[in-house]
Amino acid sequence: MTTPAIPLHDLHPAPDDFLGEVLAGLQAQPKTLPCKYFYDARGSEIFDRICELEEYYPTRTEVGILERYGDEIADRLGADCALIEFGSGSSLKTRLLLLALERPAAYLPIDISRDHLMSAAEHIAKRFPGLVVRPICADFAGTLSLPELPDTVRSKVVFFPGSTIGNFAPEPRLALLRRIAAVCAPKGGSLLIGIDLQKDVATLERAYNDARGVTRDFNLNLLERIKRELNADIDVSAFEHRALYSAREERIEMHLVSRLAQRIQLADASIDFRAGESVRTECSYKFAIPGFADLAARAGFELESVWSDELDHFAVLLLRTG
């Protein structure tokens, strides 16, 4: 039996902005690039390999929390909910939640990486026949509209795993939490969110500097993408991956560091690099639960429950907005 095609709710993120944002980032001082552009089809595929690395503790730790406390979490979320996932990727953690939930009515994964999103949505639809699956291709930090929800939906649950919220600096983080609260409106809803906790620097830096160089490939793929999609003249081998923890900012920073003085060409612009000059490509903030709860409160969320692992490396928080 063939599965009916799943309708894509396409909000057409990025392509028009890609050149403009890359140029603005590379012409700024210090140079930066938005981390959302990591995720083309190849970037999403490399990220899945990162999740399987021994060094990358966040995925297996969050999966462990969802496996251990799934029933308790599902009890709190209640029956007949619509699960709206921000940055759904391969929807692997979602399967655990859908298995635990009582009669989930709809699943709306939101992701910027279109092909990966569709393939994950098709897998979910096959695995959970009867579940209404409505993928949304969008930049979740931009304007969001949701497709119509089935009448059977009794509540909205936003699922935001993977500590993707940690890619946002405090101000845009607050704006994103407010956006999530708006998605829960008008009746209010729940936010189930995974956050990576502060811990020793060695564990943190190891997670972003794996021995097999998968995270290096993920980082360099951003330059490959710029080269391919924007027709830029860049020698990718003239850059190297660097990831380090900033205790002052409480975040891991990923950089692409120029091995030599060089000039790259992008559209009509020439961009010069000094030897050793870096482009910051990602920040991954590490949290303390009270600080995160305070920020979420400013977006209208009240912290209800916290689940974490034995080492307190990662936490899954349930927040409500009324």
Ligand X SMILES: C[S@@+](CC[C@H](N)C(=O)[O-])C[C@H]1O[C@@H](n2cnc3c(N)ncnc32)[C@H](O)[C@@H]1O
3-class DSSP assignment, residue 42: helix
Span near ligand X by CB under 6 A; candidates 22-30, 39-47, 205-213, 268-276: 39-47
* d(C-alpha 319, C-alpha 296), whole Å: 8
List helix spans (H) across the chain.
15-27, 41-51, 57-77, 92-100, 114-127, 170-184, 201-207, 214-230, 289-298
Closest CA to 292 of 250, 322, 252: 250
Among 101, 108, 111, 193, binds ligand X (CB under 6 A): 111
| Shortest separation between residue 274's beta carbon and ligand X, angstroms | 30
| Shortest separation between residue 103's beta carbon and ligand X, angstroms | 23
Interface with ligand X, residue 47, by CB under 6 A:
yes
Toward ligand X, which CB reaches closer, 66 or 264?
66
Toward ligand X, which CB reaches closer, 196 or 319?
196
CB burial of residue 1 (10 Å; 0-12, 13-18, 19+): exposed
Whether 184 and 190 have beta carbons less than 8 Å apart is answered as: yes
Toward ligand X, which CB reaches closer, 273 or 282?
282
Interface with ligand X, residue 215, by CB under 6 A:
no
Toward ligand X, which CB reaches closer, 89 or 273?
89
| Shortest separation between residue 265's beta carbon and ligand X, angstroms | 27
Interface with ligand X, residue 39, by CB under 6 A:
yes
Among residue numbers 132 through 151, which ones bind ligand X (CB under 6 A)?
Answer: 139-141
Toward ligand X, which CB reaches closer, 161 or 189?
161
Whether 110 and 144 have beta carbons less than 8 Å apart is answered as: yes
Interface with ligand X, residue 113, by CB under 6 A:
yes
Interface with ligand X, residue 56, by CB under 6 A:
no
Closest CA to 178 of 219, 137, 136, 140: 140
Among residue numbers 161 through 190, which ones bind ligand X (CB under 6 A)?
Answer: 161-162, 164
Closest CA to 92 of 121, 72, 112, 68: 121
Whether 120 and 91 have beta carbons less than 8 Å apart is answered as: yes
- Identity of the residue numbered 272: D
3-class DSSP assignment, residue 209: coil
Whether 197 and 321 have beta carbons less than 8 Å apart is answered as: no
- Contact pattern from residue 67 through residue 106 relative to ligand X, giving x for each residue in contact according to CB under 6 A and a dash for the rest: --------------------xxx---x-------------
| Shortest separation between residue 142's beta carbon and ligand X, angstroms | 8
| Shortest separation between residue 98's beta carbon and ligand X, angstroms | 14
| Shortest separation between residue 197's beta carbon and ligand X, angstroms | 15
Residues that bind ligand X (CB under 6 A): 36, 39, 44, 47, 51, 59, 87-89, 93, 110-113, 139-141, 161-162, 164
